[in-house]
Structure 1
Amino acid sequence: MNSIFLTPGNFPQEFLRPTVEFLLLSQTQEGEIPWFEGGHSDPWDHTEAAMGLALAGELSAARRAYRWLANTQLEDGSWWRCYREGKPHEPDRRESNYVAYMATGVWHYYLLTADREFLQELFPTIDRAMAFVLSLQSEHGDIDWAVDADGSPKGDALVTGCSSIYKSMECALHIAAVLDTPRPHWQAGRALLGDALRARPDRFDRTWASKSRYAMDWFYPVLTGVIEGDAAVARINDRWHEFVQPGLGCRCEVQEPWVTVAESCELVLALMAVGDQRRAALVFSWLLQWRADDGAWWTGYQFADKVLWPDEKPTWTAGAVLLAADALTGFSGASRLFLDVVPFGAAPAGHLARTSAQP
């Protein structure tokens, strides 16, 4: 099988089942999902893997993953950037986009299940997380990327990180709306953040070299709904030939001969968000060659040296593959999570019309 084109209504459940089994085997009894066996976890990638489990109908495993986050949350609403066997590993900083992303995962779970009780259970965790994130927002709208171990802000902002936060705040607001728990300051903060991302480039990369060499800075504002419509299409087209390596995938950095599976899957989601089904399916079809025999997916491929690199098969890459396949096929009730920006307070009934998950 040298290629795979995913079309609406054609989710490859049998083909991707080994990927799900890989995630299940990787999760600890406590619920933590490390990058790989014996490796560390981080809150963002842990959540990405949990979304893959929920999408595949492994709801018990997904709930354990989110409850693990709730049980390890710090008093200020944050998490350390890195954990190993449930304990903080090298606790030197706490990153704002890592903290925010749980809201995206929990909303994804709700779109699959309509489980309001689970939203209620985890809302206090999300409430504290959002409070931490917004405490790092400047008057200009940007949100500091991290704090030091002592809680001191790092003093700069990232386009990719803030774009991810923008989507997570959208998801948090949907959760608040379902629970009839208004959080107008979240909405105000999100609006201010969106304005900064769209119109204040001077607020990002102030203290280091521009991160625009990274693919995520290119497509994340589209993936997360910061930029929509014709502007989003133009943004994707503008740097397509810089980042996309035909037949292989999306480069991580423009100057490096290295494509990565996770970023390629996220590019698929961004393409679907602008309605480009053809190129989304094409990019995904290239990725089959990076699937391992056990159903896991390699991090990436260094095409100058013609080697898989690094020698890792991360759980978050597996999660990204599942999310991209879902978006391409419209399989689950959460398939349009990254494709639409739904007005707050609007009932997500259309999203719940078809779901792969079973309680």
Structure 2
Amino acid sequence: MPNSISKVLIGVGGGIAAYKVCELVSSLFKTGVEVRVILTNSAQAFITPLTLATLSRHQAYTDDMFWQPTHSRPLHIELGEWADLLVIAPLTANTLAKLTYGMADNLLTNTVLASTCPVLLAPAMNTDMWEQLAVQRNWQQLLTDSRYHGMSTASGLLACDRVGAGRMAEPPEILTYIQSLLHTGGKRDLAGKRVLISAGGTREYLDPVRFIGNPSTGKMGLALAQAALHRGANVTLVHGPASWNVPLGVQAIPVVNAEEMQQVMGEYFTSADIIVMSAAVADVKPRDYSTEKLPKRSLPQSLPLESVPDIVSQLAKLKQPHQQLIGFAAQSGDIITPALEKLQHKKLDAIVANPIDKTDSGFGSDNNQAVFLDKQGRHREIPPCSKLQMAHHLFDFVSNGKN
């Protein structure tokens, strides 16, 4: 992420989802981002300028200020030049149509045309409105402009009591996309690429309630999927048991044990361009499985074990020259030596060595730190940062290391 303070301009359209923008503005401010807000006239029927001014710690802008300028320079020019990123949430069918055809009849649309920064769009509308041929045509046409980054709509119960597509993405998901765009500047260096990611821990069951596992939550793999998606990739995420929500736009395939993960990864491997094995796959499993819960008195005093498939080694044998296979090595103590051994022995293109014995890092944490190593001998140390930042640093590293 940039060292300087990032500046995000949020345009609020006229829809019931406008109330969600309060959480987004508050969250952005808490992360140290400078936030400014423009409300359309319709948006003010759902939320007040005072509310957003209070949350952003700055005056909110309305059309009244645009048509009665008090600045030395036109307001839309100043705001367009100020912003590092422009977010429109909720994006209504009306504003979508205006943007598609380059119309500028209010402060928000004039500011969009007076800016050159990336624009993140979070549409929200009734299902029938969203699915109209004209709306979908406008949406697809607008996204052909590289400035615009579109978030998928979610399905569910809408304010009109209709159940279907058209729900605006939730504020945490919009916040994550904003953080990605502030890191990349809007570049889509993974556009057209298929990225296959494994995430989380596997569980090897002794009976229906007991298993051999590990503390992995899959948060690193989730961050990798988000980062790849935001950089334009087609993303497939194969994950063990997890408590988080799958990002809109990511194909997610849940699995439980190593054998299931091996099967799914094998199915999708051939068509993938970049494969990231961030999952914490079990090394062994109980030799015997009971279909019924074993009474405590029947538990074996010593547990016979057998090996599970070494997924990354098997994938490495199938790897084609155009593919990049990246592994993870979670270690305590010396993290470099075992990571280098794994990189070479398993014929990986790159590996992430990350410590599990550091504060606020590794399993279960929202943050991480690591050393990246690749087969060309490159070495890059990543200090403590969020797992989303770590994911972007990894894709930067991999992209820069391609021959």
Which structure carries more helix by proportion? 1
- Is TM-score (shorter-chain normalized) higher than 0.5? no
Give TM-score, length-normalised by structure 1. Answer: 0.26
Give 1 or 2 for the bigger CA radius of gyration: 2
Q: Give the number of the structure with larger relative contact order, counting CA–CA contacts within 8 Å between residues 6 or more apart.
A: 1
Give TM-score, length-normalised by structure 2. Answer: 0.24
